[in-house]
Amino acid sequence: MVFIVRTDLERLCACIFQALGIPQEEAEDCAEILVTADARGIKSHGVARITRYANGIRAGLIKGGVTPRVLHETPCSLVLDGEGAMGLSLSKRSMERVIAKAREQGMAFCSIRNSNHFGIAGFYTEMAAREDMIGLAMTNTAALGVPTFARKAMFGTNPIAFAAPGLEGMRFSLDMATTTVPRGKIEVYQREGKELPPGWAVGSNGLTAQDPRSLLDTMIRRQGGGLLPLGGAGETHGGYKGYGLAVLVDILCALTSGGVFGEAVRDSEITSARVCHCFMAIRLDILRPPEDFKRDMSRMLEALVSLEPAEGASRVYYPGLKEQEAEGLSNTQGVPLAEDLWQELTTWANVLGVALPSVQAVPEP
């Protein structure tokens, strides 16, 4: 691993995006969101994505400087056509508009079609949580998930995120794929040369797949197989629940915006698919006094972490706590990146004429 000062890494990524033709403000948004993922230990959605974004930008499939087209708007709702914009910056700006509408109306909803990959969904929900609101965010993705009892992918990893604030910076922050793992985790295992654990994915015959490189190739070529829904194969461990949640995300993101869904959402060999998102914000004070809600939220979270851990486990976490703690370390020790990923960024920087920041010393264990 190498460790990079967070602000330096954000600056590097922003400069790479700008060199690829993305306007400065959008480039800075994109860098902030990607580096946040790595700072929190979510390697599958961090700066490793830059190569796919760069390929999409160069192919004209991802565009900078785009003004999304308003398809429908009311005081509490917004439906946009992203027109192929950078999904990261578009999503941040759209959530800002949702929060502004929720301030006026109590709650607000936005759905977007024809966008691109938007990074970690939890980034957007936490924007709302910091404003004394409950935040929700979802996106559909390329069809990589195999429905219960099927052998062909018909829905995406379709993540759901939800955040609610507590006192003094505490927050519940759930950010989860509706498949057992996101595709990015398969890519991490490929980079690290590891076999996939049983229960993550199936091949074209509907049986367990363990070679990440072969699985990724099969999924890109639409030759059958894919990721299993949350809960795994069949009904024994509730796989049908993950399947149902994935379809729910498609409904809220694609059907509300008139975008593509299900099997029609397809990646190319060089970049990710055009996708649909949705964002929601609910002001706490339309339900009860915000300080009362946040006090109870903190009590709930404290009760969870105070539980006696199971034998062999060191502690109990609530959703978002591991990521908050990892981010705190990254802010003081530098953001950890795999050495081969750092070399990939170095190559992009050299090709595009972007200056590289220094590498930090490895933190003491």
Mean pLDDT of 34-54: 95
Contact 137, 284 (CB under 8 A): no
- For 151, the domain range is 2-290
CA–CA separation, 60 and 97 (whole Å): 27
Mean per-residue pLDDT over the chain, rounded: 94
Read off the pLDDT of each residue in 24-32 and give the average, rounded to a whole number: 98
Question: What share of the chain has pLDDT > 90, as a percent?
Answer: 82
Average pLDDT over residues 155-180: 96
CB 254 within 8 A of CB 140: yes
User: Would you say residue 350 lies in a domain?
Assistant: no
194 pLDDT above the threshold of 80: yes
Residue 316 inside a domain? The answer is: no
How far is Cα 353 from Cα 274, in angstroms, rounded to an integer? 29
pLDDT the model gives residue 249: 98
Distance CA 20, CA 15 (A): 9
Q: What does the alpha-carbon distance between residue 8 and residue 27 come to, in Å, rounded to a whole number?
A: 14
Q: What is the CATH number of the domain that holds 211?
A: 3.30.1370.60
Q: How far apart are CA 144 and CA 157, in angstroms?
A: 7
Query: Whole-angstrom Cα distance, residue 183 to residue 191?
Result: 13
Would you give the distance in Å from CA 203 to the centre of its chain?
Answer: 25
Tally of domains in the chain: 1
For 200-240, what is each residue's pLDDT tens digit?
Answer: 998 888 888 889 998 888 887 788 889 999 998 889 889 99
Q: How buried is 330 (Cβ within 10 angstroms: 0-12 exposed, 13-18 middle, 19+ buried)?
A: buried
Q: How far apart are CA 144 and CA 153, in angstroms?
A: 5
Q: 174 in a domain, yes or no?
A: yes
| Residue 297 belongs to a domain | no
pLDDT digits (tens, 9 = 90+) for 99-139: 999 999 999 999 999 999 999 999 999 999 999 999 999 99
Residue 163 contacts residue 129 (beta carbons within 8 Å):
yes
In the prediction, which pLDDT does 151 show? Answer: 83
Backbone phi, psi, residue 284, to 5°:
-60, -35
**Whether the predicted pLDDT of 365 surpasses 70:** no
Kindly state the helix (H) or strand (E) to which residue 24 belongs, with its residue range.
helix 24-39
Q: Is residue 301 part of a domain?
A: no
Q: What percent of the chain stands above pLDDT 70?
A: 99
Are the C-beta atoms of 132 and 150 separated by less than 8 Å?
no
Indicate whether 357 belongs to any domain: no
Looking at residue 301, what is its pLDDT?
A: 98
Short-list 161, 151, 175, 117, CA closest to 228: 151
Mean pLDDT of 143-160: 91
Prediction pTM value: 0.92
pLDDT value at position 270? 75
pLDDT confidence of residue 103: 98
How do 77-81 and 107-115 pair as beta strands? Answer: parallel
- In which element (H, E) is residue 296 found? helix 290-305
Cα–Cα distance for residue pair 17/30, rounded to 1 Å: 8
Q: Which token pair is 47? A: 């700066």
> Does some domain include residue 296?
no
Which tens digit of pLDDT belongs to each residue from 255-293? 999 999 999 998 877 788 899 999 999 999 999 999 999
Residue 364 confidence (pLDDT): 62
Q: Is residue 244 one of the residues assigned to a domain?
A: yes
